A = this chain, B = another copy of it.
Amino acid sequence: MSKYLFGIDLGGTTAKIGLLSEEGRLFDKWEIPTRIENYGKHILPDLAAAVKKGIEENALTNDDILGIGLAVPGAVLNEKDVAVCVNLNGWGGCDVAEVFSNLTGLPVKVVNDANAAALGELWQGGGKGYKSMVMVTLGTGVGGGIIIDGKLLKGAHGAGGEIGHLKLYPDTEELDTCGCGKSGCAEQFTSATGIVRLAKEMGMTDADSKFGFLSSKDVFDLAIDGQEKALEVVHCFAKEMGRMLASVSAVVDPEVFVIGGGVAKAGEFLLELVQPEFVKFAFPACEETEFHLAELGNDAGFFGAAKLFVD
């Protein structure tokens, strides 16, 4: 008989919880607040209570549950050991799988949240049906999750998929320094922050925003409305994004790029801008690489965490 899975995406403000079938069908989802006080000592007990409640409310027992996948905002070793998480007030630094398993009486596997989102999109989102995928998350920064033959490429120093730090330009004095401390990084052009930086360099100002504070959403909204300056900015963004992804293809050559994060809310408009630029730059064999939008939004993390139990 088919069993059930819990997926949990533990964030700094809330934890998103999903109850799924082994086939990836979502039965129930809800959120609980993340209490980070006292180095997060309430986090796992709160989550255990939420899981217990979820089991009872869905008229299940522990025997019906295959396991709990837990996505956390930090580095994870061997699907169990979590490094101290700065965004969770120093929580972590222990074998979270063991502690949480003792609290719930269920098997637990732990995964980094960005990696979980990539796994989730591969399982039930924009990457469904593919074996190799690069998930690109365009937010404040640019995140990447690389999946080859269904497995995450984590990297020897945990930096696999740090595609926002591809070096699109030589270090130059003119460029702002990237968050990583170096300059010339793709993220300086292709993140939400990078788009606003580009826009301001190209003459847009906070006065262009109806909220008095220019955001990447403003730039895309204005471009969709046909404002000339905003169109210039998004074309410049698309050129850098195309070159970034062409470089990713020349290294790992995925079947599909799945684009998510806040900037991806520009939807098909974004893909139609970026894909032709990708083709211009791409190694010829890679020109047909597919482009999809992410589909699971904030649910991607708990989908991917749950997926750890259905290999």
The answer, yes or no, to whether A200 is at the interface (CB within 8 Å) is no
B253 touches A159 (CB 8 A): yes
The majority secondary structure among interface residues of chain A is: loop
Q: Which B residues are CB-close (under 8 A) to A165?
A: 246, 250, 283
Q: Which B residues are CB-close (under 8 A) to A247?
A: 166-167, 247, 251
The answer, yes or no, to whether A182 is at the interface (CB within 8 Å) is yes
A146 to B132, CA, bound (A): 15
A154 to B156, CA, bound (A): 19
The answer, yes or no, to whether A59 is at the interface (CB within 8 Å) is no
**What is the interface size of chain A, counting residues whose CB is below 8 A from a CB of the partner?**
47
| Residue in B153, B161, B170, B250 whose beta carbon sits within 8 Å of that of A162 in the complex | B250
B171 touches A283 (CB 8 A): no
Minimum C-beta distance from A282 to chain B (A): 8
| Residue in B153, B243, B249 whose beta carbon sits within 8 Å of that of A252 in the complex | B153
A243 to B184, CA, bound (A): 10
Q: Which B residues are CB-close (under 8 A) to A286?
A: 155, 157, 159
Minimum C-beta distance from A241 to chain B (A): 12
Identify the 4 closest CB pairs spanning chains A and B, nearest first. Answer: A155-B253, A159-B253, A156-B255, A165-B250
Extra A-B contacts (19), CB below 8 Å, given A159-B283, A182-B284: A132-B156, A144-B251, A153-B252, A155-B286, A156-B255, A158-B285, A159-B250, A159-B286, A162-B253, A162-B283, A164-B250, A165-B283, A167-B243, A167-B246, A171-B280, A184-B243, A184-B281, A247-B247, A251-B252
